[in-house]
A = this chain, B = another copy of it.
Amino acid sequence: MTVGQNIKRAISEDQKAERQAMILSAARDMIDEAGFDGVTMSALAKRAGLAKGTLYLYVRSKEELFLLLFIEAMRTVVARFKGDVALGYSAAQIARCMTDHAQTTPLFLPMYARLVAVIESNVADEPLFAAKRQLLALSAEWAEHLAHVTRVSPDMAEPLATALMMSLQGAAQFDLSSQRDPTGLPEDIREAFSRYAFARSFEPSARLILEAVMTPPK
């Protein structure tokens, strides 16, 4: 089979970037429809109208593809945080915004939950380092804005950012396991599943942490 009906060869760098974007977009659609486990490189190739081998010209591994998707989601979250949260916001308001950003940015939570244990652990060194640099830069950007809006003392800025990031990561995990369809769950554990839904567990914790730092104990 020759190249797909409406697809030419990608020659220029722009065309290659466009093709990679098309692959990422197809992957997003597949995740929406079939979940993470439903994404196989064969199926993705079919969906994108390419041969399996072609995918590997644009992405070094399946996990690198996920990493690219996550960086994109993370970039969105950081941008929204910087845009939405301003100086003067209360701890509760900041917690509310963080919860909202994480929850409504597509793919952010499920990818964050899988970032370390699934994605990072099966990526070659070079792409991993490249991704780490971007993620660290984004984290730093986010932490800096957080320090600014909370007016926290300089020596508390890092612990605060770390505590919130860890809570976010943990909440993403719990959320993943609570995403399950409740029908078919045994009665005695159904409530436990819903108890760990993201907003319900993260927002109070974030508020707790933010309040602890924003209203210094006398």
A residues near B (Cβ < 8 Å) are: 37, 113-118, 120-121, 125, 129, 132-133, 136, 159-160, 162-163, 165-171, 173-174, 176-177, 184-186, 188-189, 192, 201-202, 204-205, 208-209, 211-213, 215, 217
Contact = CB atoms under 8 A, between A and B. Distances in A.
A50 B94 CA distance: 56
Contacts of A162: 201, 204-205
Given A169-B173, A169-B174, A189 B117 contact: no
Contact of A136 (B163, B166, B192, B205): B192
A185 B217 CA distance: 40
A211 B215 CA distance: 12
Contacts of A188: 133
Contacts of A125: 184
B117 A208 contact: no
B166 A204 contact: no
A214 to B, nearest CB: 10
Contacts of A113: 116-117
A192 B139 CA distance: 11
Nearest to A173: B116
A6 to B, nearest CB: 36
Contact of A176 (B117, B202, B209, B215): B117
A163 B205 contact: yes
The 3 closest A-B pairs by CB, nearest first: A166-B170, A212-B212, A169-B170
